[in-house]
Amino acid sequence: MSPIELGLFLLALLAVTLGSGVWIFAALILVSIVCQYFVLGFPLERIGIFLQSIAWRAANSWELSAIPLFLVMGEIISRTDIADRLFRGLTPWLEPVPGRLLHVNIAGSTIFAAVSGSSTATTSAVGRVTLPVLLERGYSPSLALGSLAGAGSLGLLIPPSIIMIIYGVLAEVSIAKLFIGGVLPGLLIAALYSAYIMARCLQHPERSPRANRTFAPREYWGALIEIAPFFILITVVLGGIYAGFVTPSEAAAIGVAATLVIAGVTGQLSFRLLSNALHAAVKTSCMICFIVVSAAILSSTLGFLHLPLDVATAIASLDLSPYALILFIGLLYIVLGLFLDGISIAVMTLPITLPLVLAAGYDPLWFGIFLVINIELGLITPPVGLNLFVLQGLTREPLGKVAAAAMPFFCLLIVAVVLITLFPGLALWLPNLVSG
Amino acid sequence: MTAIFRAIDRLSDLSAVLAKILIVFIFAHILVEIAARNLFSTSTFVLDEFVGYSVAAATFLAAGATFKAGEFIRVGFLGELLNNRDRARAALEAACTLVTLAVVLMLARYFILNAIKHFERGVVSDTIAKTPLWVPEALVCFGLVMFALQLLSHLLQLPARLAQSK
C-alpha cells in the first residue's frame, strides 16, 4: 500500500468504528490491532505484548496525576456555593458597564476557568448560577446563552487545563509553560467577547435591562470579599507554577488542599460532599486516561507504519507556506470538531500534525495554544459540541437555538486564532519571560 | 442471572473504591513530599514512582464503574439513525460491546501474563524503593477483569432491555 492509500484506509477504518458507536478508547486500540495484524503482519502474541507495554508506560505517569487532582478540585468547588459567591461578587462591579450582567458570564467563566481544568465544568458551574437570573431579568436569551457557550470554553485555555496536560505529555512540552502561555490568549478572547457584548448592548440597550436597585458603596467592598476564595485559589495554584516552585501535579494537590480549607471554613465540608466529588472525579479521570493510553498505542502503531513520516514527506512535497499549512490544519480541526470531542481530536491527530508544524518552523508551545483554541471552537459547534450540550441541559432549549446563539462567539474565537497565528508572541511572550 | 449482574456491579464498585483510595493516596503523598522538602529538607524519594503506579492502577480499577455510569465517550451516529429500529440498534450495541470486550480481554490477558512473569522472576523496579512490579500490575489486572465482567454483564442484559422497550 502507498502511504496515501494506507492513510485513507486507516481513516476509513477509524470513521467506521467510531461512527458505529464503539467507545473511543476501544476504537483506537482496535484500529491499532487491525493495522499491526493485517498491514504489518505481526503475530497476535507480539501485538499483545506491545499493547501491554505501551499501555503500562502511558498510564504509569507522574504527569497524568494532575488530571484526577484538578478534577477533584473542580468537583469540590462545583458542589459548594463558591460559584454563587462569584456571581454576587461580580454583580455590583459589572452592573454599570454596557451589557451589564452579561459580562458576569465572561468574567465569571474566566475566573472560574483559572481554578478548573475543564470547560464543561466551567460552563455548567457558571451557567447554573447566571442563566436563571439573566433570563428572569429579561436579558436577550441569545446573548446570555452565546456568551456563556463562548466564555465557558475558556476553561481549556486558561490554566489549569486538562487538555494542556495531555498535550504536554504527548508532545513533550513543559506543562507549566503551556499553563503560562494560555493566560494572555485567554484574556484576549475574554476581552473580544466583552467588547462584542458592549457593542451589541450599546446598539440595543433593551437586551441588557437595568437593575431595579442601586448598590451602596459598601456593597462594592463586600462583593470583593465574596470573590476572595477565587483569588486565594488562583494565587495558590497558579502562583506556585508561575514562580517555578511547584510542578502542575504538586500545584493540583495544593489546590485540592486549599479548596478543602475554603470549604471547611465556609462550613460546607462534609463526608458526603467529599465522597461524591471523589466518585465523579475518579470516573472522569478514568475516561480521560483511557483515551490517553489508547492514543499512545495508536501513535506507536502509526510510527511502525512510518505514516507520520510519509505524510510529512508527502505534504512537504506540496511546498506549502507555513501559513497555508496552519490554515489547512485549522480547517481540519474545525471539521473534526463538528463530530468529535477535543481530547480525542488532539490525541488522534497529534502524531501526524505535530511533526508537520515543527518541520514548518512553528514552536511546539505555540502549537499547543493554537490546538487548544481550535478545540474550543469544536466545543461550540453542532452536532457534537459538549458546551452546547451543557447549555441545552441547563435551559431545555433546542440544540439549534443554542448553537445559533454561540455563532458570533465562534467567529470571535476564529479572530483569536488568526491573531495568535499572526502574532505568535501573544502565546509565547509570557512563558519565555518567566523562564528567563 | 440478576444475582450475577448485581454481584458484578458490587465488584466494580469495590474496584472503584480502591481507585478512590489511590487518588487520596496520590494527594497525600504529594503533600507529604512538599512538606518534607520544604520543612525538613528531605524527601520520600519515591514520589514520581508511587504516584505513577497509583495513576495507572486507579485508571484501570475505575474502568468498570466508569463504564456502568456510561462515562466512556463514544460517537455513535449510526445508533441515532436507527432510533426507531430497536432490534437493529440492540444488534449494533451488542457488536460494539463485543468488540470492546475483545480489546479489554486482550489487554487483560497480556497484563496478567506479564504480572505472573514479574512475580515468578521477582522483578523489582530499578529505583531506591525496589518495588516488586507485580504489585501495581496486579491492581491493573484486577481492574481490567472487572471491566471485562462489566462489559459481559452489559452484553447479556441487552436482550432483556430490548424486550422491555417493546
Instruction: Compare all CA atoms of chain B with the CA of A256 and give the residue at the minimum distance.
Output: B27
Across the interface, do A290 and B58 touch by the CB < 8 Å criterion?
Answer: no
Across the interface, do B63 and A29 touch by the CB < 8 Å criterion?
Answer: no
DSSP H or E stretch at residue B160: helix B134-165
Q: What angle do CA A280, A286, A289 make, to 5 degrees?
A: 135
Across the interface, do A30 and B99 touch by the CB < 8 Å criterion?
Answer: yes
Across the interface, do B103 and A26 touch by the CB < 8 Å criterion?
Answer: yes
Instruction: Compare all CA atoms of chain A with the CA of B72 and give the residue at the minimum distance.
Output: A287
Closest CA to B111 of A292, A54, A282: A54
**Is B158's Cβ below 8 Å from some Cβ in A?**
no
**Is B53's Cβ below 8 Å from some Cβ in A?**
yes
For cell 452484553, what's the residue?
Answer: B155
Across the interface, do B56 and A344 touch by the CB < 8 Å criterion?
Answer: no
Q: What is the pLDDT of residues A238-270, one digit of tens each?
A: 888 888 888 999 999 999 999 999 999 989 999
Q: What is the helix, strand, coil percentage profile of chain B, to 5? A: 80, 0, 20
A225 Cβ contact list (under 8 Å, min separation 6) = A89
- ipTM of model over 0.85: yes
Mean pLDDT of A382-387: 82
Supply the pLDDT for residue B129.
85
Stretch among A112-121, A192-201, A405-414, B44-53 having the lowest mean pLDDT: A112-121
For cell 508551545, what's the residue?
Answer: A365
> Does the pLDDT at position A186 exceed 90?
yes
Greatest C-alpha distance within chain A: 76
Which residues of chain B lie closer than 8 angstroms to A61, CB-CB?
52, 55-56
Across the interface, do A65 and B51 touch by the CB < 8 Å criterion?
Answer: yes
Of A26, A278, A283, which is closest to B71 when you measure between CB atoms? A283
Closest CA to A360 of A417, A303, A319: A319
Q: Tally Cβ neighbours within 10 Å of residue B106.
A: 19
> Does the pLDDT at position A75 exceed 70?
yes
Instruction: Compare all CA atoms of chain B with the CA of A34 and give the residue at the minimum distance.
Output: B103
Q: What is the pLDDT of residues A193-219, one digit of tens each?
A: 999 999 999 998 888 888 777 788 888
C-alpha–C-alpha distance, residues A313 and B121, integer Å = 45
Q: Enter the C-alpha cell of residue B94.
A: 451488542
How many interchain CB pairs under 8 A, A with B? Answer: 172
Residue A189 pLDDT class (50, 70, 90 cuts) = very high
Query: What residue spans define the domains of chain A?
Result: 3-435
Q: What is the pLDDT of residues B15-41, one digit of tens each?
A: 999 999 999 999 999 999 999 988 888
Which residues of chain A lie closer than 8 angstroms to B74, CB-CB?
18, 21-24
Instruction: Compare all CA atoms of chain B with the CA of A19 and give the residue at the minimum distance.
Output: B76
Across the interface, do A19 and B76 touch by the CB < 8 Å criterion?
Answer: yes
Across the interface, do B19 and A339 touch by the CB < 8 Å criterion?
Answer: no
Backbone angles phi, psi at B10, to 5 degrees: -60, -45
Number of domains, chain B: 1
C-alpha–C-alpha distance, residues A351 and A359, integer Å = 13
The three-state secondary structure class of B124 is strand
Supply the pLDDT for residue B166.
65
**Is B55's Cβ below 8 Å from some Cβ in A?**
yes
Supply the pLDDT for residue A289.
94
> Under the phi-then-psi rule, with left for phi > 0, alpha for psi from -120 to 50, and beta for the rest, what region is A140?
beta
| Alpha helices (H) along A160-270 | 162-171, 175-181, 183-203, 217-234, 240-243, 248-265
**Is B81's Cβ below 8 Å from some Cβ in A?**
no
Q: How far apart are the CA of A19 and the nearest CA of chain B, in angstroms?
A: 5
Average of per-residue pLDDT values in chain A: 90
Supply the pLDDT for residue A226.
86
CB A125 within 8 A of CB A119: no
Supply the pLDDT for residue A435.
66
Average of per-residue pLDDT values in chain B: 91
Residue ranges making up the domain that contains B67: 2-165
Q: Which residues of chain B have pLDDT under 70?
A: 76-77, 166
**Is B56's Cβ below 8 Å from some Cβ in A?**
yes
**Is B123's Cβ below 8 Å from some Cβ in A?**
no
**Is B13's Cβ below 8 Å from some Cβ in A?**
no
Across the interface, do B66 and A384 touch by the CB < 8 Å criterion?
Answer: no
Q: How far apart are the CA of B24 and the nearest CA of chain A, in angstroms?
A: 9
Q: Tally Cβ neighbours within 10 Å of residue A214.
A: 10
Residue A7 pLDDT class (50, 70, 90 cuts) = confident
Residue A62 pLDDT class (50, 70, 90 cuts) = very high
> Does the pLDDT at position A436 exceed 60?
no
Across the interface, do A60 and B47 touch by the CB < 8 Å criterion?
Answer: no
Across the interface, do A278 and B76 touch by the CB < 8 Å criterion?
Answer: no
* Helix B134-165 with B2-39: angle, nearest 10 deg: 140
Residue A35 carries which DSSP code? Answer: I
C-alpha–C-alpha distance, residues B29 and A369, integer Å = 31
Q: How far apart are the CA of A420 and the nearest CA of chain B, in angstroms?
A: 31
Of B52, B71, B78, which is closest to A62 when you measure between CB atoms? B52
C-alpha–C-alpha distance, residues A30 and B162, integer Å = 27
CB B23 within 8 A of CB B59: no
Residue B132 carries which DSSP code? Answer: B
Supply the pLDDT for residue A150.
93
Residue A211 carries which DSSP code? Answer: P
Mean pLDDT of A22-51: 94
Question: B132 - beta bridge partners?
Answer: B124
**A383 preceded by a cis bond (ω within 30 of 0):** yes
Closest CA to A69 of A229, A236, A251, A241: A251
